[in-house]
Structure 1
Amino acid sequence: MIGLNDIQDARSRIVGHIISTPLVCSPALSDICGVAVGLKLEHYQTTGSFKLRGATNAILELSEAERARGVVAASTGNHGRALSHAARAVGSRATICMSRLVPENKVSEVRRLGADVRIIGNSQDDAQEEVERLVAENGLVMLPAFDHPAIVAGQGTIGLEIVEAMPDVTTVLVPLSGGGLAAGVAAAVKALRPNAKVIGLTMERGAAMKASLDAGGPVLVEEFPSLADSLGGGIGLDNKVTFATCRALLDDVVLLSEREIAAGIRHAYAREREILEGAGAVGIAALIANKIAVLRGPVALVLSGRNIDMDMHRRIVNGMSNSVGQET
């Protein structure tokens, strides 16, 4: 598993390439929960999500020869955007494979950054098959969205910053998909504050890490459209890093309905004055829906991304039906 030294090395490597985001108090959530609640504003990163940390760390670990070959990844959008940005910054080129479930606003941003975009199939697993073909046939270097030591270590730098900003943190709420963010944050927080609880948050439908943890090993899941589209996709049947780390370090996994996620997006906008995508709002959603069984404070929650289609955002904050067929 990734250790504290790996995360500290990643921090030294990516400093100057990413933003050390603020952790700010939320008076509204603190009043609702009865404990101090801090928001880690990771959606302030240059590419609009935390993914820039891991992607930058992974790119900077490559040799010049590897960068010259080009990098490739499957993505639900935010990793693709981050990897494209990081690759362009060092003179490399990214190829990003995405399924038809990825929102167009995320696809267009990846293209804007100069990546070669491939739209493949209806799932993250379909996109991953194209990645593996490109690695085998074209010699590209695969830098996956989550199951890679350098990616996990880069995301873990968020955990270092949380503990520095909130030394007495007792509960950390982290969005959970393939587990790169949750594994990295948990590794950092548990190394520095062993008694703190780290809880993963994800959507009810197609929660691959939750299903895998329940099964005792990686399993395939069907993907569904969701407001938390960034949390979709499998964890890989040959998962080498994130499954074991999440199994060892996460204290709980909480599932959220589409209605609850929408309520989190609305609260973020109306009370926190923040625009968040569904995945970025799951921490808020869990708190206002009272989904954390035993809540001890101070609490830190990671607002992981802001890359939502703004037409959808307007529909959600106005209480209208969303585009995934769920009432909000």
Structure 2
Amino acid sequence: MDYGITLTEIETARENISGTVVRTPTVPSLSLTRHAGVPVSLKLEHTQVTGSFKLRGAANALASLSEAARTKGVVAVSTGNHGRAVAHAAKVAGVKAVICLSELVPANKVDAIRALGAEVHITGRSQDEAEKEAMRLEREGMTFISPFDHKDVIAGQGTLGLEMLEDMPEVKNVVVPLSGGGLLSGIALAIKARRPDVRLIGVTMSRGAAMYESLKAGHPVEVEEVESLADSLGGGIGLENRYTFAIVRDLVERCLLVEEDELAEAISHAYREEQQVLEGGAAAGIAALLSGRLKPDGPTLLVLSGRNLDMDQHCRLVCGGGAAAKEASNA
């Protein structure tokens, strides 16, 4: 089926972003391999320049701008990581960037975006409310770069899929954090084009999972956005979704939900057993594996998508256990 984004465009995106984005490592996990009983490896995308995978899509979108669009600048709406990526890519490209955020975005992510020189607009209590401000700026002439439902962004995220197949050609299951679906869509398009036998599995939090609820309904739906350890997975998918809903619906075998305490345990496991600092959304695949919600039957690769969490919160999670996790998720 034609989804409007081709393998050739993903391969072109890899060329476009090569000077801005690093190729992140794929490493085996001895602890998760013991737990699962099959080989498990980790794609360390949280070690990306801006601390998350989002830079791939943002850099490709900036590289694809016309000269007129570059002059007028770009605007993005974000739960934090996309905004940081757009701010970084725009700074590298010499383009003005405005990032629209809701009041739920953690202060550490807001500060990081400002530090990159972007203009920050904080509006409302949800990503949908922040998006209204971004749409206003788009009407005034700026180019809107969607955090997920944008073909250049999806193609950029798809470069991860190319790397993972090259690093782990024997892979049977690929597990990806799921929010608006840009990451999972790009990876799915790249992998299915080359290895249709590989199974794609999305994992998201149980609190306010827009894509999960949309897939259940058979069409994009709105959900209430609530606080979660997986704040980077929050927000809607857009009722007029053009790309990611159909791609996830058609190419992804399963979508799983994980609970807040399971996310907390996964963050702690990543630190203690893997020596990796992860934000809640990035730990979703580990949470699914440790909880038994995911029981893979062959070589499995988990995408660790970001590390941009408040380090005081991280300390509470890895040192305080369940009580601290509950406190952090309700903070």
TM-score normalised to structure 2 length? 0.96
**Aligned equivalent of 2:174:** 172
Q: Deviations over 1:182-237 (max 9, x none)?
A: 00011111111111110000000100000111111110100010000000000000
**Aligned equivalent of 1:286:** 288
- Which aligned runs of 4 or more in structure 1 are off by greater than 3 angstroms? none
**Aligned equivalent of 1:221:** 223
Q: Is the 8 A contact 1:312 1:322 kept in 2?
A: no
Out of 319, 322, 327, the position equivalent to 2:327 is 322
SS in 2 for 1:271: helix
Residue 9 of structure 1 and its aligned partner are, at CA, apart by: 1.1
Q: Is the 8 A contact 1:316 1:322 kept in 2?
A: no
* 1:145-294 to 2 correspondences below 5 Å: 145-292=147-294, 294=295
How many residues are treated as equivalent by the alignment? 324
Question: What CA distance in whole angstroms lies between the structure 2 residues aligned with 1:234 and 1:89?
Answer: 29
SS in 2 for 1:322: helix
Residue 325 of structure 1 and its aligned partner are, at CA, apart by: 2.5
Q: Deviations over 1:250-297 (max 9, x none)?
A: 1000000000000110000000000000011111111111111x5122
- Counterpart amino acid of 2:162? L
TM-score normalised to structure 1 length? 0.97
**Aligned equivalent of 2:312:** 311
Residue 81 of structure 1 and its aligned partner are, at CA, apart by: 0.2
- Counterpart amino acid of 1:297? G
Root-mean-square deviation (Å): 0.9
Q: Deviations over 1:129-178 (max 9, x none)?
A: 11111111x21110110000000000010000000000011000000000
Residue 53 of structure 1 and its aligned partner are, at CA, apart by: 0.2
- Counterpart amino acid of 1:29? L
Residue 323 of structure 1 and its aligned partner are, at CA, apart by: 2.4
Question: What CA distance in whole angstroms lies between the structure 2 residues aligned with 1:181 and 1:134?
Answer: 25
List gaps (5 residues or longer) in structure 1.
none
Question: What CA distance in whole angstroms lies between the structure 1 residues aligned with 2:316 and 2:113?
Answer: 24
**Aligned equivalent of 1:100:** 103
Residue 3 of structure 1 and its aligned partner are, at CA, apart by: 2.1
SS in 1 for 2:203: strand
**Aligned equivalent of 1:297:** 298
Residue 324 of structure 1 and its aligned partner are, at CA, apart by: 2.4
SS in 2 for 1:17: coil
Q: Does 1:45 align with 2:35?
A: no
**Aligned equivalent of 2:94:** 91
Question: What CA distance in whole angstroms lies between the structure 2 residues aligned with 1:284 and 1:275?
Answer: 13
List gaps (5 residues or longer) in structure 2.
none
SS in 2 for 1:202: strand
